[in-house]
Structure 1
């Protein structure tokens, strides 16, 4: 593979732009800049510390922290020492953390910024050495500053090779235990070198990192892409300061997920109701000024590459953002191909699709509609699970488990999950994703899960949005019933939704309804609301749980 590997790209910027700021970390409302030279010094010192703890090339080191500059410095230190990183989700359960640490045989864990940190304490086996980043976190054997002071920078860095195992990324999974996706240095290089070239990113661009770096998408689109384009990365200090930090940074590329794009929209509409916004946007000069002020207020007035991924985003939401001058580019990928799949390039966006396949990436649709990929960004397999690896990687093709269609211009449309399709008691099959997508267009809907296996007709579990909870109950009910009637009018008889069941408890990671990557766990929701479903009155289409 001809492209430079991640450590070579890092060394490139250290040599060419040593005093340029790469990372910016807010602490107590003060921004702390870190240059490429300073990052190299700190990462090499931490690499020396890891070696001194007895870590040898190929050993695994875990990172458990919210996004911060030290997360990336830890990742680099692990690479420089020839070790393998195992990122953990800050929202992961203690039991899941325990499983991953034992399954991957981690020797050391680097701990950082965490919410409700003590909840995770039981998940860290006693034999694993602990290093604490310079933030309030779990107890540790060593402090970040202490180790940097004690150890000289590592002189001879590991000579990275394309086939080196760089990281084991454990997928949260909607069922069963997490699976360890093995990704090489070559896969990281392949994906980011082509992504940066395709989007035209360069040293003058600015990233804003807040989605979990333990997720393949953020690791690819922000962390690794920054090594390949030289752009700076700024971090958020806390959830409370998120909006302020985003306005201060004003990134040129911004990656988010549908749930947060919806929250941004709701924040705007709380201050400027839709009817008034529509009137203002219809006025040529004033409308342009209002749209600019909204973009500026969000901190996105400089953004030229806006990305949405991880879950489907309603077309109505994309159109709303386009009206205020923000065109969101939806993409699609998996941990198993390092999120390098399809993408709606800026200026080539087709709403309702996830764009065309990325360069040097093969895409095809199997006879049963399943999306398949083949490229150098594919995982080498699941760690210690050859049977599952063989099931997912067949004849060199990644079997995604998602179903899709490719139009005449090469744009991919996701139509559902192969295994999510269920059969009603009438013997008819229903694909939930398209129907869920239509229901989710409602401003009152935060999340939706269609269920119907063994039922006469499908029904929808609905978690209401914050906007709905602040609205009069009668108005919400009337609007949702109108939405249901409109959607059912477009569906085949066996697909029509019989009931909307409005749930009172939010679906979260902590209560087991969501994965750490914010995907709903269908099996958990179906079991949790089974009794409520049994009590539904056939004469009423809307019920409160």
Structure 2
């Protein structure tokens, strides 16, 4: 057993709620633009004073509608300014926010609203309103539903016009740090999603220590962050709150179709993403270089960036020749890549899945450091992260200051600290299983080095045992294979089988590029190309790269290219883009069987 901890850098308030931050910002930085909201002409600034006014007006509407302290209010919307506004409005009314992914099905909406006992809901679109309406007969406790598309926010503000300021002040004075702030439902890779109860204290401990440890990334009046991940997910939520706590300017982007253009317009200093975002940036740049006949130059520049980053971790640092090459490629390529990410940023925060060591070195080598972290809904988001000044690429960093990470005798990662959830809503049995003596059992396997940096090696429940008795952690191979430009998703199989196999889906954008490069119509489908020897050879290279990370007994012997995608809409991915392995295994049982019979 091994454990590591760091002293807390932030003193968690003994009383009060997260709404105190909004009032503080309005008092200390009244005319500072702390939010960016999308408008017809581009981005519109919102000052700290204006935000407080907007929050109060919406909160008064909730009070007028009969929302009482402790009531649950569901919020179903894409990531936008109104999401953040309403989150704080719910807290200002003394209530508890229940986020609902905007992609949720009617059945998922029914479960989350019913299990949480939500008495009201704010939805973004008429489509969302229709989903709620279709299951409302099964939600007797749901009294009110407002639609942003139908003028619901204006309706709330109008309804609260006669509510006195004293009503909100009274609720603010009664607010307790240990009171529930939100019930965030897990993505539900298996079984029904469980509601994680996170308190105001949890978020104070989480975000306060993140801001203190990553201070240079959260500079008031200079730093800014563009949030385009789901605000309903705990990862997006803590970044939203960290920006308010610092405070720094936060932009919320509801539509990522033109992400590159939006990054150029908003020009954030800090970017939040998942590995797939950074993989796309790299793969798109490389593909464009090859289309322009500059592929060899790109590859030399990429190798130089990786070598330069690796040399930064050595005692002697980069050699004179390496520094010269790096300076040359910075003028030719690296600066253009940084411009794609907004042009002002030097750092990004990545979570949700492993980034990959080579990609981590590549981005640091071009002057855009991606700091990896690790966390779960139950840990209020990031429970470990790489510090800006002591990064160890290939790890998910050190524990959140004020918390403890322990590796149990069987390799499971255990967590302890004020940032943890208090239990699962209405599920004492599951809570008791997950929390023992103040320690949360993550279900993840990992190791700690001598400096307390954590490396995640897999999931206990996802370990495959082949017919030969070999234990296989799928994540290691899958992440390597998925890093290839052609690969969209990969799922390793082989439990009880004679060898390890894989199901692979292809990235449609890069498949079209591959088709053009190989003299095949660019509109060719996966179904028409899946048996093309050239395509199979390209995918085999990705598999070989994955196999290089594991022993021969753990390596993928055979793979199948699927004609369907794994998506959230198809039911094969969670909203946070994790594989629902049991669903994939059921839906593609014939393809899995074919791996072992053909």
Q: What TM-score results when the alignment is normalised by the length of structure 1? A: 0.92
Query: Equivalences for 1:235-384 in 2 at 5 Å?
Result: 235-273=252-290, 274-279=295-300, 283-384=325-426
| Distance of 2:67 and 2:254 partners within structure 1 | 31
**Change over 3 Å in CA distance of 1:301–1:167 after alignment to 2:** same
| Distance of 1:115 and 1:199 partners within structure 2 | 39
RMSD: 2.3
Contact 2:338 2:345 in 1 (8 A): no
Match in the other structure for 2:51? 39
**Change over 3 Å in CA distance of 1:119–1:475 after alignment to 2:** farther
Contact 1:96 1:123 in 2 (8 A): no
Contact 1:294 1:324 in 2 (8 A): no
Query: Equivalences for 1:111-150 in 2 at 5 Å?
Result: 111-112=123-124, 122-123=134-135, 127-133=142-148, 136=149, 143-150=152-159
Match of 1:66 among 71, 74, 78: 78
Post-superposition CA distance 1:353-374 (Å, at most 9, x none): 1011121111110011000010
SS in 2 for 1:371: strand
Matched, 1:89 2:101: yes
Aligned-residue offset at 1:109: 0.8
| Distance of 2:549 and 2:260 partners within structure 1 | 39
Match in the other structure for 2:510? 467
Higher relative contact order (CA 8 A, sep 6+): 2
Stretch moving more, 425-434 or 498-507: 425-434
Structure 2: give runs of 5+ residues left out of the alignment: 1-10, 305-324, 516-531
Contact 2:477 2:547 in 1 (8 A): no
Matched, 1:434 2:476: yes
Post-superposition CA distance 1:415-449 (Å, at most 9, x none): 00011012222233222122223322323222211
Match in the other structure for 1:449? 491
Matched, 1:25 2:37: yes
| Distance of 1:474 and 1:114 partners within structure 2 | 47
Match in the other structure for 1:178? 193
Match in the other structure for 2:62? 50
| Distance of 1:394 and 1:220 partners within structure 2 | 25
Matched, 1:213 2:231: yes
Match in the other structure for 2:570? 511
Contact 1:97 1:124 in 2 (8 A): no
Matched, 1:164 2:164: no
Contact 1:248 1:299 in 2 (8 A): no
Matched, 1:412 2:454: yes
**Change over 3 Å in CA distance of 1:322–1:113 after alignment to 2:** farther
| Distance of 1:462 and 1:535 partners within structure 2 | 14
| Distance of 2:514 and 2:409 partners within structure 1 | 46
Match of 1:230 among 224, 239, 247: 247
Q: What TM-score results when the alignment is normalised by the length of structure 2? A: 0.84
| Distance of 1:117 and 1:307 partners within structure 2 | 34
Structure 1: give runs of 5+ residues left out of the alignment: 540-545
Stretch moving more, 372-381 or 494-503: 494-503
Match in the other structure for 1:391? 433
SS in 2 for 1:331: strand
Match in the other structure for 1:110? 122
SS in 2 for 1:186: helix
| Distance of 2:387 and 2:80 partners within structure 1 | 28
Contact 2:110 2:132 in 1 (8 A): no
Stretch moving more, 379-388 or 487-496: 487-496
Match of 1:523 among 575, 582, 594: 582
Aligned length: 532
| Distance of 1:94 and 1:151 partners within structure 2 | 30
Match in the other structure for 2:22? 10
**Change over 3 Å in CA distance of 1:487–1:33 after alignment to 2:** closer
SS in 1 for 2:382: coil
SS in 1 for 2:209: helix
Aligned-residue offset at 1:2: 4.2
